[in-house]
Amino acid sequence: MTQHIAATAGGASGRRAPDPSSGWWRDAVIYQVYPRSFADANGDGMGDLAGVRGRLPHLRDLGVDAVWLSPFYASPQADAGYDVADYRAVDPMFGTLDDARVLIGDAHALGLRVIVDLVPNHSSSDHPWFQQALRDGPGSAARTRYHFRPGKGPGGELPPNDWPSVFGGPAWTRTTDSDGTPGDWYLHLFAPEQPDFNWDHPEVAEEFRSILRFWLDAGVDGFRVDVAHGLVKAPGMPDIGEGGTVRLLADDLLPFFDQDGVHEIYRDWRVLLDSYAGERIAVAEAWTSTVARTANYVRPDELHQAFNFQYLSAPWRAGELREVIDLSLAAMRPVGAPTTWVLSNHDVTRHATRFANPPGAGIQTRQAGDRALGLRRARAATLLMLALPGSAYLYQGEELGLPDVTDLPDEVRQDPSFFRAAGQDGFRDGCRVPVPWTRDGGSYGFGAGGSWLPQPGSWAELSVEAQTGDPGSTLEMYRSALAVRKEHPGLGAGDRVEWLEAPDGVLVFRRPGFVCAVNTTDSPVRLAAYGSVLLASGPTAADRTVLPADTTVWWSAHPVESGQ
Ligand code: GLC
C-alpha cells in the first residue's frame, strides 16, 4: 500500500530572499549512498533504508556534511531504481515512507543533511501515465505526456529518427496497438523501460513541482537531478546523422542533450526551492561538452551545483588536472556558484581502478589493472580533491579504497547497459558491489543474508571494521582529511587556488594557511618544505623535502617565499 508522508517541517511559505551569508552547500562534502548496496537490515541480500539508518553513525564519524540517496522509489528496477513508477512511494524492497521519514529525521539529528534523487527525464514504463498512454492509443491526450511518433518507412517499420540510446541500440521502441498490429514508436534515451517525458506538456511540469513539494515537505534538504541536461529535446527532433553511440561528454551539442530550453525548468524550480526555509538545494547531473556549459545550470537563479564530470574524467596527470581545475574555477566564478569535485559514482569505474589502468582506459573500464598503484593514486587524488575550493562528492566505499569488481560473472550482472550493449559495457555493476562492514559474516556485515552482487573474499580486509583504528588505512585517511577540512574552513572556501612553482608532473598550490603538493609521477621529487605536514596520502620520506611517487601531502603552511 502506498503511504504518504504528511506535510511536516518547512512548508511553502512564500518567496524568501536567499541568505547570501549562508550556503552550507558551498563547501559541503556530500556522500552518495547507493541504497541497494549500502546496508541490508532485513537480510534479503538487498540494501534498504533501515540499513542506511543503522549505518548513519559511520557517516557522522567520517565527517561528511550530507548524504545523497540514489533512488529508493517504487520501481520495477529495470535500471536499479532510475525507472520510477511512483515518485511519492518507497519501493517495498527498500522499506516504507515511514522508513524514509525516520531516516531523514535521524540524519538531521546527527547533523547530516539529506539529498534525494529526482528522476525527471523519464519514468518507468510501469508508471500509470505511460500505461494509460499505451492503453488510450495513438492520438490520445495521454500519449502527449511522452514522445510517441509514427515510424518511418512505408509501414512505419523504421524508428522516427536516428537517435541512439545511452545504453546501446536505438532510442525508440515500437508499440503494438490494441488490435495486435505494430503501432507508433516512443522515445527512451535510456532503456525501453524508461520512456522520456515530454517536458513541453504543462502537466509534466506541474507534476514535478508537486513531487518536489512532496519531498521538501518531508524534510529533505535537496535533490540530485538525474539527467538534468536531457529534459528538453530540440524542436522537430532532428537526426544526429552519426548513427553511433552517445558520447557522454560530446564535443558538439546533441539534439537531445543540453538544450537551452532546460534552463527555464530550473529557474522555475529555484523559485520553488527558495520558497522553503532551510536552504534546500539542487545539484544537476549534467553531462555537458565543457565546464562553461555546465556553469549555465548554476546561474544565480537556477540550480545550486552541478557535478564536474570533466574533473572526474581527467587522467592522473598533473597537466590535465591543473587545466581542468583552472577551467572549472574560471567557469564557475562569473556565475558565483561553487565548483564541485567528484572522482567516483555509481555510473563509472571507481577511481581506485581507473587510476590502476593507463589513462586511455577512460572512465569506464573492466580491467583490474595494477591494484596497488591504483589505490596509491586514488588516495593521492582524493587529498587533491579535498584541498580544492568548493564542494566535494564521495561515493560509498571509496573511503575504504574499494576497487571495481572487474570479474563479476555475466549471470549476476543487472546493469541494463550490459544487456543492451552486448558485452561491450557492463562496467557499472562493478562499482555497485555491496559495501563490506565487518571482517566476518556471509556478506561482510552488509546484511544477515547474502549480497545481490558477490563480494570478493579479499574485501574482508577492506571492511570498515578492519580499517578502523589503522592509521595507514584509507578509511582513517578520509576521516583525518575531513577533520582537517573542518578545522580549516578556508580549505573549501573561495574560488581560487594559488599555484606555486613545481617540477614537471607535480602540482603545488596554496590555500589560506595551507599548501597541497601532489606528485603524479612514478618517481620521488624534491620540493621545499612548506611548514608542518598535516596529512599525507601515503608514507612520506624521512627527508621532508622529498615527495614520494603518486603521493599528495597537505602542509600547514608558513608563508612561502616566491620561487620555492
Ligand atoms: C543517470 C544515472 C544512471 C541512470 C541514468 C538513467 O545517468 O546516474 O544511473 O542509468 O541516469 O536514469
Atom of ligand 1 nearest to the CA of 417: 10
Q: What atom of ligand 1 comes closest to residue 122's alpha carbon? A: 12
Q: Is the CB of 227 under 6 A from ligand 1?
A: yes
pLDDT for res 16? 46
DSSP string, 215-261: HHHTT--EEEETTTT-SS--TT----S--SPPPTT-SS--TTSS-TT
Distance in angstroms between the alpha carbons of the first and the last residue of the chain: 67
Distance (angstroms) between ligand 1 centre and the Cα of 16 equals: 32
Q: How many CB atoms lie within 10 A of CB 182?
A: 13
Residue 79: CB within 6 Å of ligand 1? yes
Asked whether 196 lines ligand 1 (CB < 6 A), one says: no
- Cβ of 347 closer than 6 Å to ligand 1, yes or no, is yes
Please give the distance, rounded to the nearest whole angstrom, from the Cα atom of residue 563 to the centre of ligand 1. 46
Pocket test for ligand 1, best of 72, 77, 82 (most atoms within 8 A of CB): 82
Share of the chain above pLDDT 90, in %: 84
The whole-number pLDDT of residue 250 equals 66
pLDDT of residue 495: 93
Ligand 1 touching residue 226 (CB < 6 A): yes
pLDDT band at 289 (very low <50, low <70, confident <90, very high): confident
Angle of the 474-487 helix axis to the 371-386 helix axis, nearest 10: 10
- Among 482, 488, 455, residue whose Cα is nearest residue 557: 488
| Distance between CA atoms of residues 174 and 160, nearest Å | 10
What's the distance, CA 418 to chain centroid? 20
pLDDT for 561 beyond 80: no
| 166, 226, 395: residue to mutate for ligand 1 pocket, most atoms within 8 A of CB | 226
For the CA of 347, the closest atom of ligand 1 is: 9
CB atoms near residue 251 (< 10 Å): 7
How large is the average pLDDT for residues 96-101?
98
From 223, 347, 393, 427, give the residue whose CB has the most ligand 1 atoms within 8 Å, as the site to mutate.
347
21-68 confidence digits (pLDDT tens): 479 999 999 999 999 999 999 999 999 999 999 999 999 999 999 999
Q: Whose CA is nearest to atom 3 of ligand 1?
A: 347
* Grid coordinates belonging to 384: 587533491
Q: Does the pLDDT value for residue 562 go beyond 90?
A: no
* Residue of 73, 190, 283, 285 with the most ligand 1 atoms within 8 Å of its CB, for mutation: 190
Question: Which of 86-95, 218-227, 537-546 bottoms out in mean pLDDT, i.e. has the lowest?
Answer: 537-546
Please indicate whether residue 251 is annotated as part of the active site.
no
82 lines ligand 1 (CB under 6 A): yes
3-state secondary structure 429-456: HHHCCCCCCCCCCCCCCCECCCCCCCCC
Cα–ligand 1 centroid distance for 227 (angstroms) = 7
**Closest C-alpha residue for ligand 1 atom 4:** 82
pLDDT at 248: 60
Instruction: Find, among 411, 420, 430, the residue nearest to 363 by Cα.
Output: 430
State residue 422's pLDDT score. 54
* pLDDT tier for residue 20 given thresholds of 50, 70 and 90: very low
Q: Is the CB of 427 under 6 A from ligand 1?
A: no
Q: Is residue 328 a contact partner of residue 314, using CB atoms and an 8 Å limit? A: no
Looking at residue 244, what is its pLDDT?
55
Single out the catalytic residue among 65, 226, 404, 425: 226
Q: Could you give the percent of the chain with pLDDT greater than 70?
A: 92
Query: Which runs of E-coded beta strand occur in 16-135?
Result: 29-33, 66-69, 73-74, 86-90, 113-118
pLDDT of residue 416: 86
| CA–CA gap between residue 322 and residue 510 (Å, rounded) | 13
Distance 428 CA to ligand 1 centre (A): 10
Q: Is the pLDDT of residue 234 over 60?
A: yes
Atom of ligand 1 minimally distant from the CA of 83? 12
Give the pLDDT confidence score for residue 430 in this predicted structure.
95
Pull the grid cell for residue 544: 621532508
Q: Which atom of ligand 1 is nearest to the CA of 416?
A: 10
Is 8's pLDDT higher than 70?
no
Position 4 pLDDT exceeds 80: no
User: Is pLDDT above 60 for 513?
Assistant: yes
Q: Which of 352, 281, 275, 287 is nearest to 316 (CA)?
A: 352
| Surface-to-core class of residue 126, CB atoms within 10 Å of its CB (0-12 exposed, 13-18 middle, 19+ buried) | middle
Helices (H) and strands (E) in the chain, counts: 14, 20
- The DSSP letter of residue 158 is B
The alpha carbon of 562 and the centre of ligand 1 are apart by a number of angstroms equal to 46
For the record, the C-alpha cell of 368 comes out as 583490474
Q: Report the range of poorest mean pLDDT among 117-121, 235-239, 283-287, 486-490.
A: 486-490
Query: Of these residues, 285, 347, 425, 550, which one is catalytic?
Result: 285
- Over residues 346-378, the pLDDT tens digits come to 999 999 999 999 987 788 888 999 999 999 999
pLDDT for 245? 58
Per-residue pLDDT for 419 more than 80?
no
Q: What is the pLDDT of residues 173-185, one digit of tens each?
A: 999 999 999 999 9
Q: How far is the CA of 14 from the centre of ligand 1 (A)?
A: 33
Residue 544: predicted pLDDT: 84
The CA 266 to ligand 1 mean position distance, Å, reads: 19
Ligand 1 geometric centre to CA of 223 (Å) = 14
Q: Is 190 in the pocket of ligand 1 (CB under 6 A)?
A: yes
- The residue ranking higher by pLDDT, 561 or 332, is 332
Q: How far is the CA of 520 from the centre of ligand 1 (A)?
A: 31
- Encode pLDDT of 397-409 as tens digits: 999 999 999 999 9
Q: Is 285 a catalytic residue?
A: yes
pLDDT tens digits along 292-313: 999 999 999 999 999 999 999 9
Mean pLDDT of 99-112: 98
Average pLDDT, the chain: 92
What integer pLDDT is reported at residue 246 of this predicted model?
62
Query: Nearest CA to 151 among 110, 186, 189?
Result: 186
Q: What is the pTM of this model?
A: 0.94
- Give the per-residue pLDDT at 564: 39
Q: Using the predicted structure, report yes or no on whether residue 7 has a pLDDT greater than 70.
A: no
pLDDT at residue 132 is higher than 60: yes
